[in-house]
Structure 1
Amino acid sequence: MIKFILVVTMSAGLIGLVTTAASPAQAGPAGRGELLSAVPITGLTPAQVTELLAGHGIDTGSVRHGVDAYRLEYRTTGADGRLVTASGAVALPRGGGHRLPTVGFQHGTIAAKAEAGSVNSDNNRLAPITFTAAGYATVAPDYLGLGTGDGPHPYLDLPTETSASVDMLRAADTFVRRTGRTLDRRMLLTGFSQGGPAAMALGRALQEGADPRFSVRAIAGVSGIYDLFGTQFPRALDGTIVPKLATISTAYYLTAMNRLYTIYGQPSRAFRAPYDTVVEGLFDGMHSGLDIAANLPNTPADLLTDWAVQQLRRPTGPMLHAARASDGSCTGWTPRAAVRLFAATGGDELVPIGNSTQCQEAFQGRGVTTPITDLGRVDHNTSAKRAYPLMLDFFASQR
């Protein structure tokens, strides 16, 4: 997952500063979703969008509009239920109608706050630009603890990803109305990698009434980590996933879950020396993927204790509570909206396709047809770039 922290240089002109705040009537319960500020971060003409996307191997046939993007700061709740500040990006097309069809995009794994799409013009900004250039408003939360948000990031924790995303929708709705336009609240949801299960969990929450103003029209996930303990962690431990990347991702998960559930207490219970003295500090939101990689060993076996390996294979106690909160985005519910999965049948070094087939089987077991679009034999990043234009075709078919 850390591998796709790739910084790109965007040809963008910044436009004037906008700050605003939501009125109490527009905020969610107890201040959730209150818009604190909005700052422009990207302005692109159609020609600049085309040049940018083509440079990253993304099909440009859907480019119709220029794009203006803004970083929003808003109120949401942390894992303890207290109000915190979070951030995210909203991208709006130049031109188009007054009421904008709306995509909710959930990004893939990053470790550093500064690498969030609302702050840095990295790969996590490519999807919003692709969708928005086709005429959609795109709402892209950073999740908790990334971008300009408070605290560390609770990596892969579905409850906080969901609450932060619902509140981002509320804040974005307020902001867009202040620009003189409105969002179509029948959401088209999508996400890449970490964002795949986050999109599913958001879809479930909206379907179950998390905010009755928003509904779900379709959900599309690409190369998502839908089956952590049945597919992802077993493949991380058996060498199927590139070992260095498996080392980083398991360390990220364990340190994040320990902050929420006190899984291991002392780092030495989960991590071998000498890494037990440094691993938690690497995931403080200040270290880049390259920094983390340079300070961790090359294989999970060199990092993880036997106890940690066993917990990743068969979680018990606090780890089982963490597993229940971070896994199962495709189980236990029946989507009423159309669902489409996108995945590489081979070549993905980070997220095995078994994640997608398990999600497909879970939904189809509840009577929901869930096609998987084969993206070919490509690596993880390329799977996303191939999928985004195909998602636009899928979204266009959902009226």
Structure 2
Amino acid sequence: MKFVNSLLGLSLLLAASSQAHALSRNAGQTNQSAQQESPDSPRPILLNYTLLKTIDLATLSQNLASFGIKARNGVSIYKVSYATESLDDTSLNASGIIIIPDTKAAVFPWVSIQHGTIIAKAEAPSVAPFEGLAEASQGFVAVAADYIGYGDSAALPHPYIIAKGYQKPLVDLLRAARELANQKDFDLGPLFLKGYSEGGYATLALQKALETDYSTEFSIVASAPSAGPYNVELTGVLNVEKPVVNPVNLPFVVLAYNYWLADGQLALNDIFLPAVATVEDALSGAYNSDQVFAILPSTASGLFQSAFVADFTSDQPTLPTSRDLRALLRTQTLLDGWIPKAPTRFYHCIDDNEIPVAVTEQAVATFKAAGAPSISSVLIPSPTTGQPYLHGNCPAIFSPLQWFGEILSGKAAQ
């Protein structure tokens, strides 16, 4: 997992320097008020922003070298706080980061980047900024949400793999980015979307929202969802069937669905073999993924009740808990009710050990059969020697950046 360790190392390095920079700014002038709110005006989207870190070209090139990325410019990283809505349509304040290249261009392409699964609250982009650095190093304004449950909304449980939990907050962050661009006196041009793992799901959820509900406000040039659980039910069944499992993914889904969708009525004791309190504590946000792996079993037989496994993976579940969970998972598929309009390219490593490549293959086939005008996929094989490309080290995390660059230069082909 050298690739993952490098990611974490860079993230921690930037987090430490960002926190030190923020502390030094707190002694003077830290927050820039985005817009004064008056009783007669609607609440602004962008509430405030803070410069977390400026990275020069040489330092950024050095930081990204291990990923094979050569920076073209330095960047400034801003934490933004903005107004949005939760799943129950109540108002809340959320946060994320916006990374601006130092090229002083009048118009920037921009990319909304949805991050993969994190557990620890301390790993949110606005706390440990890494997400978007690669893209911003190539001249894109990078926009990355913390998601509900992290950053400014950390008191709430994260609505993991629930489409509505991403859509409005991500749309509102795009609006906040436009407000910040206006204040910084530059324009935002072509809009791209990308994300990996949970971020792949969030990217497709955002694309669906933008194309069905916000098409007069935003136009997507290209979208690159990667290794996401677009058919949540299929992903869940395929994972529970395996003897070795990631102890984060499905338990995180179960807890989120129980809180946000089932009003706490799922019988969690019928699902988990460890004590429910142990599972809830492990995924509370106090621990990172390595620590969760040390707390929870990584086998289906150790993590789930045997009766649940047998029934949940059957063609027609009969036990109430597995039947109810399967029904909830079906409600969160992203393959129904719309047809992607923008060029959409799905990336996935063939030997992914957590999100089976069959999930992407099904998504591509479904959208093509529905008549989507520009759907393609890049299925990445493992190298013939050395470590295979698994979920944690798949190059699809960065691969879409080349495609986006080709589109901007007019060299792309579907």
Structure 1 partner of 2:94? 86
State the shift of 1:394 in Å. 4.6
Structure 1: which amino acid aligns with 2:228?
G
Q: In angstroms, what is the RMSD of aligned CA positions? A: 2.8
Cα distance in 1, alignment partners of residues 50 and 271 from structure 2: 41
Partner of 1:297 in structure 2? 297
* 2:163 counterpart (155, 158, 163): 158
Aligned to 1:59: 69
Aligned counterpart, 1:270:
271
Structure-2 separation of matches of 1:70 and 1:322: 37
Say whether 1:99 aligns with 2:112.
no
TM-score (normalizing by structure 1): 0.85
Do the aligned residues in 2 keep the contact of 1:58 with 1:386 (CA within 8 Å)?
A: no
Provide the C-alpha distance between the structure 2 equivalents of 1:265 and 1:382, rounded to a whole number of angstroms.
34
- 1:192: how far off? 0.7
| 1:137 counterpart = 2:148 | no
- Aligned amino acid, residue 210 of structure 1: Y
Deviations 1:302-347 (A, max 9, x none): 22225643346667765355324432x233311221111111122x
Q: Which has the higher relative contact order, 1 or 2, with Cα contacts under 8 A spaced 6 or more apart?
A: 1
Identity percentage over the alignment?
25
Counterpart contact for 1:108–1:195, Cα < 8 Å: yes
SS in 1 for 2:33: coil
Counterpart position of 2:182: 177
CA contact (8 A) 2:94 2:153 kept: yes
Gaps of 5+ in 1: none
| Counterpart-to-counterpart distance in 1, 2:192 and 2:253 | 28
Q: CA deviation at 1:111?
A: 1.1
Residue 328 of structure 2 is aligned with which of 298, 317, 322? 322
Task: In structure 1, give the amino acid aligned to 2:211.
Answer: Q
**1:38-49 alignment runs, 5 A limit:** 38-49=49-60
Q: TM-score, normalised by structure 2?
A: 0.82
> What amino acid is aligned across from residue 51 of structure 1 in structure 2?
Q
Matches within 5 A, 1:105-116: 105-116=113-124
Partner of 2:33: 20
Partner deviation per Cα, 1:86-116 (whole Å, 9 max, x = no partner):
1111111101422221111111101121111
Gaps of 5+ in 2: 383-388
Match of 2:216 in 1: 212
Shift of the 317–300 alpha-carbon distance from structure 1 to 2, 3 Å rule, reads: closer
Is the aligned partner of 1:342 residue 2:351?
no
Distance 1:139 1:24 in 2: 24
- Among 395, 399, 411, which residue is 1:387 paired with? 399
Aligned pair partner of 2:83 in 71, 75, 81: 75
Aligned amino acid, residue 408 of structure 2: A
1:8 aligns to 2:9 (yes or no): yes
Structure 1 residue 375 corresponds to structure 2 residue 380: yes
DSSP-derived class of the 2:356 partner? coil
Alignment CA distance shift 1:374-1:183 (3 Å): same
Give the corresponding residue for 2:47: 36
Cα distance in 1 between the residues matched to 2:34 and 2:59: 31
Q: Secondary structure at the match of 2:31?
A: coil
| Partner Cα separation in structure 1 for residue 398 and residue 164 of structure 2 | 29
How far the C-alpha of 1:219 sits from its partner, in A, is 0.7
The DSSP-based 3-state class of the residue aligned with 2:119 is coil
Q: 1:250 aligns to what? A: 250
> 1:7-36 CA distances to partner (integer Å, 9 max, x unpaired)?
2244667475332234569xxx974x6222
3-state SS of 2:224 partner: strand
Q: Which structure has the bigger radius of gyration?
A: 2
Other structure's SS at 1:372 match: strand
The code of the aligned residue for 1:113 comes to: K
1:292–1:214 distance in 2 versus 1, CA, 3 Å: same
Q: CA separation in 2, counterparts of 1:4 and 1:318?
A: 35
Aligned length: 378
CA–CA distance in 1 between the matches of 2:229 and 2:181?
A: 31
Aligned-residue offset at 1:136? 1.0
Distance apart, 1:220 and its partner CA: 0.9
Shift of 1:385: 4.4
Distance change >3 Å, CA 37–CA 375, structure 1 → 2: same
**CA spacing shift, 1:375–1:20, aligned 2, 3 Å:** farther
Q: Distance in 2 between matches of 1:301 and 1:394?
A: 46
* Aligned mates of 1:203, 1:53 — CA distance in 2: 28
Partner of 2:240: 237
